[in-house]
Amino acid sequence: MAFINENYLKLPGSYLFAEIARRVTSFKDENPTADIIRLGIGDVTQPLPAACIQAMHTAVDELAKQETFRGYGPEQGYDFLIEKIIETNYTKRGITIGKDEIFVSDGSKSDCGNIQEIFGTNNIVAITDPVYPVYLDTNIMAGRTGILTENGTFEKVTYMPCTAENNFTPELPKNRVDMIYLCCPNNPTGTTLSREALTEWVNYARKNESIILFDAAYAAYITEEDVPRSIYEIEGAKEVAIEFRSFSKTAGFTGTRCGYTVIPKTVTGRSQDGSKHDFNKLWNRRHTTKFNGTAYIIQRGAEAVYSVEGQAQIKETINYYMANAKIIREGLQAAGIQAFGGVNAPYIWLKTPNNMPSWDFFDKLLHEVNIVGTPGAGFGPSGEGYFRLTSFGNKENTKRAIERIKTKLKF
Amino acid sequence: MAFINENYLKLPGSYLFAEIARRVTSFKDENPTADIIRLGIGDVTQPLPAACIQAMHTAVDELAKQETFRGYGPEQGYDFLIEKIIETNYTKRGITIGKDEIFVSDGSKSDCGNIQEIFGTNNIVAITDPVYPVYLDTNIMAGRTGILTENGTFEKVTYMPCTAENNFTPELPKNRVDMIYLCCPNNPTGTTLSREALTEWVNYARKNESIILFDAAYAAYITEEDVPRSIYEIEGAKEVAIEFRSFSKTAGFTGTRCGYTVIPKTVTGRSQDGSKHDFNKLWNRRHTTKFNGTAYIIQRGAEAVYSVEGQAQIKETINYYMANAKIIREGLQAAGIQAFGGVNAPYIWLKTPNNMPSWDFFDKLLHEVNIVGTPGAGFGPSGEGYFRLTSFGNKENTKRAIERIKTKLKF
């Protein structure tokens, strides 16, 4: 008799974006002429950089001829891409990363979700609260948590609240934690951790032999010079940190799928007998056993992001989105709503007026001004009373949305 | 202190193809002028179908314009592809499969590797022996096995030997098994299971509430009319079977990456309290949490496989490979070597002369006639004394290789 993985039964029924879709559909059914503006889901809208388009056309043509055809590539990714990643994102910032410390994948969601497999199930997981739900959900599935309690937290998980009160900087935990998920710039709050805060985390991890799982999917949006682009800018991080990067938001690859994980060979964990083991080696085994490499065409597209033209093109698109972020942030402030983020990230995190619950504010925004955003409570209990707007829409709609909030929303 | 997943330490050190690469490199270093012909790794060599090339160019262009740009797609795959899959591979064969019973992915290796996650860790795994190593390795990683014993088998796993003696048809196990991996046509033996044998398995699974994990990656190579293309051709299979399909060998997508998994909603497992749960729902949760969809460009390429031109083009390529298979099979037989498979699969499985150990035969073939194949022992203990050749090379080289075996190999 086949038994199921019962950890899945601990997962709450409805996924955040599915519930949003349900409410929007229901609203549209009742109000078929409503002019809805979506500032909700974190998906890009601008086309791919011309350099990527050209590179992918060339790659497609290569697959049409026997002499240039490519079958299985290295599961870890092609050198042509890995070398460009290292040069642009690490060497130029004074960080030394080896070619066999980079693992190209079909995107950060896969990597962030799969990375926990190489860890023991008894590790204590720490997550900032609120945060991207994949870290927690995948650890629930793997059995590293207890059940959902009445206060909205899972047993055995260490939640680190990040709210306006602590300037969205998580406190070092009082209990021992083993796997620490940090998302910086943070999804959903759009805030970043300072060099000092990150240094404290690296020092904590070194002292406690914890591992920092550092999701830098939004690194390309950082504008302030003193915010680290990579955790490896912090001394000692190469001993304790695994970093996730993505082309999704950097270059519009949400539907094109490419990301990568960095695991320095100096990052180790222990087996029960106390001996040390390289996580790089374990991940290599996982990656080569359960994954067969990212499509050649896509890797050529990703490579083109690092060309001179590609870098200029992604910068232009990021500037476009960040101009939207400024419109949202300043518009909210003008409307008397407290807003965070939006400077080093495409996300604006607002405090709901009068401490209104997130889902009530969602309904209010949808019904009164026909704008779809994302309830903060969907990202963790400390997201309650907050709300996320994103800058991935087009400028015209973003302006119209903010104008509506300023002129029509009553609170 | 972060602990590792110690199950990884149970895995044997060297992966089959890495060891082959090592031996070939070493031989080449000593014999730099040797004219090596590779009939080893199962990678395709012919270019992609023209229909796929054209479709992917169109898709790339769509991503270049805002009006046609695609961001995140459904994690389960686009309907345009799913509808074609159902129509061509199921409806036309009299099988009813719903759109929400198909999950498109980046390839069968991912699916075959990840599927075990939705099963409890106490299930008993049954694998045919020899077989594609991913089934076993991923269950070792998940902790469903004990350690490797001296006879080359893992504790707690039920091995079902498939050798010339039983016509490569696994016997029903005597102990209870919960998860049954069947690969048909089989990699590496190139043999298939008859309708009668598959019916026995489906009946066994229904009786014991086991699940059949049916890997049909090579279904497109079946030439004999009475061999089922899908497990769902067998009555009752929709209650107990999950099927994996791939575009890798069907359409040359080994470096382009697309596959899909079929999970009928009638396939259920139990929780410890005895209640039933749909595996479709569990896999949907897994797929939407840890995967963000296959690249749009690639899905458009896969869709084109089902066009009239695409179907004709893949048939031509498959015929090309199968002509090679015939050359190999008949050549081996002419050389006095017993050969199996190669009729409904691109693999030929030969019995080593004089019962020579597989790796010895590998070295003999490499050194005496400069041909690279794959040692049968690498696919499981019952593969010992066998050897795999593949028909994915070009015709000229395949002919030359067989000529060398016929005229120069001494045994």
Across the beta sheet with A339-341, what order do the strands follow? A339-341, A347-351, A386-390, A374-375
Q: Are A230 and A161 found together in one domain?
A: yes
Task: Please indicate whether, in this complex, the C-beta atoms of B289 and A137 are within 8 angstroms of each other.
Answer: yes
Q: Calculate the alpha carbon distances from A285 to A96, A239, B18, B42, B380 in Å.
A: 23, 20, 12, 20, 19
Backbone CA torsion sign across B206, B209, B210, B212: positive
3-state class of A183 per DSSP? Answer: strand
Q: Does residue B109 lie in a domain region?
A: yes
Last residue of a domain, one of B281, B307, B333: B307
Task: Please indicate whether, in this complex, the C-beta atoms of B118 and A4 are within 8 angstroms of each other.
Answer: yes
Residue in B closest to A16 by C-alpha = B289
The single residue listed with the structure tokens 């963790």 is A380
In whole angstroms, what is the distance from residue B281 CA to residue B264 CA? Answer: 10
Task: Please indicate whether, in this complex, the C-beta atoms of B292 and A109 are within 8 angstroms of each other.
Answer: yes
In whole angstroms, what is the distance from residue B251 CA to residue B245 CA? Answer: 12
CATH assignment at residue B65: 3.40.640.10
Q: Are A262 and A131 found together in one domain?
A: yes
Contact map slice: A 346-375 vs B, CB within 8 A: none
Is B115:B134 a contact under the CB 8 Å cutoff? no
Residue A139 to chain B, least CA–CA distance (Å) = 11
Of residues B5, B73, B119, nearest to A4 (C-beta): B119
Amino acid B321: pLDDT: 97
Query: Considering only CB atoms, which chain A residues are within 8 Å of B269?
Result: 1-4
Is B213:B244 a contact under the CB 8 Å cutoff? yes
Give the tens place of pLDDT for each residue, A49-88.
Answer: 999 999 999 999 999 999 999 999 999 999 999 999 999 9
Last residue of a domain, one of B265, B289, B307: B307
Backbone φ, ψ for residue A339 (5° rounding) = -130, 140
Using the Cβ of B297 and the Cβ atoms of chain A, whether some distance falls under 8 Å is answered with yes
Q: Are A68 and A187 found together in one domain?
A: yes
Top residue of A52, A66, A106 to mutate, by most chain B CBs within 10 Å, is A106
Task: Please indicate whether, in this complex, the C-beta atoms of A106 and B257 are within 8 angstroms of each other.
Answer: yes
Using the Cβ of A13 and the Cβ atoms of chain B, whether some distance falls under 8 Å is answered with no
Nearest to A306 by CA among A90, A89, A97: A89
Is A126:A180 a contact under the CB 8 Å cutoff? yes
Q: Does residue A1 lie in a domain region?
A: no
Using the Cβ of A390 and the Cβ atoms of chain B, whether some distance falls under 8 Å is answered with no
Query: Considering only CB atoms, which chain B residues are within 8 Å of A71?
Result: 43-45, 252, 254-255
Q: Does residue A4 lie in a domain region?
A: no
Nearest to B314 by CA among B50, B86, B41: B50
Give the tens place of pLDDT for each residue, A287-322.
Answer: 999 999 999 999 999 999 999 999 999 999 999 999
Which pair of tokens denotes residue A21?
A: 């879709």
Q: Does residue A47 lie in a domain region?
A: no
Is B97:B266 a contact under the CB 8 Å cutoff? no
Task: Please indicate whether, in this complex, the C-beta atoms of A277 and B4 are within 8 angstroms of each other.
Answer: yes
Is A123:B3 a contact under the CB 8 Å cutoff? yes
Q: Are B157 and B301 found together in one domain?
A: yes
Q: Are A169 and A258 found together in one domain?
A: yes
Is B211:B71 a contact under the CB 8 Å cutoff? no
Q: Does residue B3 lie in a domain region?
A: no
In whole angstroms, what is the distance from residue B44 CA to residue B394 CA? Answer: 10
Last residue of a domain, one of A306, A321, A347: A306
Residue in B closest to A118 by C-alpha = B5
Amino acid A411: pLDDT: 78
Q: Are B162 and B254 found together in one domain?
A: yes
Residue A353 to chain B, least CA–CA distance (Å) = 31
Query: Considering only CB atoms, which chain B residues are within 8 Å of A11?
Result: 285
In whole angstroms, what is the distance from residue B310 CA to residue B235 CA? Answer: 30
Residue B411 to chain A, least CA–CA distance (Å) = 34
CB within 8 Å of A13: residues ≥ 6 apart: none
Residue A88 to chain B, least CA–CA distance (Å) = 24
Pairing of strands B102-105, A374-375: unpaired
Q: At residue A220, what is the residue type?
A: A
Nearest to A145 by CA among A6, A313, A323: A6
Radius of gyration of chain A (CA): 22
Using the Cβ of A198 and the Cβ atoms of chain B, whether some distance falls under 8 Å is answered with no
Q: Does residue B172 lie in a domain region?
A: yes
Q: Does residue B1 lie in a domain region?
A: no
Which pair of tokens denotes residue A87?
A: 């040069």
Of residues A122, A252, A256, nearest to B3 (C-beta): A122
Is A301:A256 a contact under the CB 8 Å cutoff? yes
CB within 8 Å of A174: residues ≥ 6 apart: none
Q: Are B102 and B211 found together in one domain?
A: yes
Tell me the average confidence (pLDDT) per consecutive run of 10 residues in chain B, 411 residues long.
97 81 95 95 93 98 98 97 98 97 98 98 98 96 97 97 97 96 98 97 98 98 96 98 98 98 98 97 96 98 98 98 98 97 98 97 97 96 98 95 95 78
In whole angstroms, what is the distance from residue A75 CA to residue A99 CA? Answer: 13
Each residue's pLDDT, cut to its tens digit, for chain A (411 residues) gives: 899 999 999 998 767 888 898 999 999 999 999 999 999 878 999 999 999 999 999 999 999 999 999 999 999 999 999 999 999 999 999 999 999 999 999 999 999 999 999 999 999 999 999 999 999 999 999 999 999 999 999 999 999 999 999 999 999 999 999 999 999 999 999 999 999 999 999 999 999 999 999 999 999 999 999 999 999 999 999 999 999 999 999 999 999 999 999 999 999 999 999 999 999 999 999 999 999 999 999 999 999 999 999 999 999 999 999 999 999 999 999 999 999 999 999 999 999 999 999 999 999 999 999 999 999 999 999 999 999 999 999 999 999 999 999 999 987
In whole angstroms, what is the distance from residue A309 CA to residue A49 CA? Answer: 9
Burial class (CB in 10 A: 0-12, 13-18, 19+), B328: buried
Burial class (CB in 10 A: 0-12, 13-18, 19+), B138: buried
Q: A103-125 burial, b if ≥16 CB within 10 A, otherwise e?
A: bbbbbbbbbbbbbbbbbbbebbb
Q: Does residue A191 lie in a domain region?
A: yes
Q: Are A120 and A148 found together in one domain?
A: yes
In whole angstroms, what is the distance from residue A39 CA to residue A43 CA? Answer: 10
Top residue of A38, A44, A63, A179 to mutate, by most chain B CBs within 10 Å, is A63
Contact map slice: A 94-153 vs B, CB within 8 A: 106-107, 109-110, 113-114, 117-123, 134, 137-138, 141
CATH assignment at residue A387: 3.90.1150.10
Burial class (CB in 10 A: 0-12, 13-18, 19+), B344: buried
Amino acid A148: pLDDT: 97
**HEC assignment per residue over B282-351:** HHHHHHHHHCCCCCHHHHHHHHHCCCHHHHHHHHHHHHHHHHHHHHHHHHHHHCCCCEEECCCCCEEEEE
Q: DSSP code of B90?
A: I
In whole angstroms, what is the distance from residue A131 CA to residue B160 CA? Answer: 46
Q: Are A94 and A242 found together in one domain?
A: yes
Amino acid B219: pLDDT: 98
Using the Cβ of A72 and the Cβ atoms of chain B, whether some distance falls under 8 Å is answered with yes
Look at chain B and report how many structural domains it folds into.
2
In whole angstroms, what is the distance from residue B227 CA to residue B154 CA? Answer: 31
Task: Please indicate whether, in this complex, the C-beta atoms of B106 and A292 are within 8 angstroms of each other.
Answer: yes
Using the Cβ of B56 and the Cβ atoms of chain A, whether some distance falls under 8 Å is answered with yes
Q: Are A370 and A280 found together in one domain?
A: no
In whole angstroms, what is the distance from residue B215 CA to residue B227 CA? Answer: 14
3-state class of B217 per DSSP? Answer: coil
3-state class of A290 per DSSP? Answer: helix
Q: Quick check: ipTM above 0.90?
A: yes
Q: Are B256 and B379 found together in one domain?
A: no
Task: Please indicate whether, in this complex, the C-beta atoms of B176 and A1 are within 8 angstroms of each other.
Answer: yes
CA atoms within 13 A on the CB side of A12: 16
Query: Considering only CB atoms, which chain B residues are within 8 Å of A277?
Result: 4, 9
In whole angstroms, what is the distance from residue A109 CA to residue B182 CA? Answer: 30
Backbone CA torsion sign across B367, B371, B372, B376: negative
Contact map slice: A 21-40 vs B, CB within 8 A: none
Q: Calculate the alpha carbon distances from A150 to A147, A153, A154, B341 in Å.
A: 10, 7, 9, 59
Q: Are B167 and B262 found together in one domain?
A: yes
Using the Cβ of A309 and the Cβ atoms of chain B, whether some distance falls under 8 Å is answered with no
Q: Which domain holds residue B369?
A: 9-47+309-408
In whole angstroms, what is the distance from residue A105 CA to residue A287 CA? Answer: 9
The single residue listed with the structure tokens 């983020």 is A341
Query: Considering only CB atoms, which chain B residues are within 8 Å of A295?
Result: 106, 255-257, 295, 297-298
Task: Please indicate whether, in this complex, the C-beta atoms of A271 and B9 are within 8 angstroms of each other.
Answer: yes
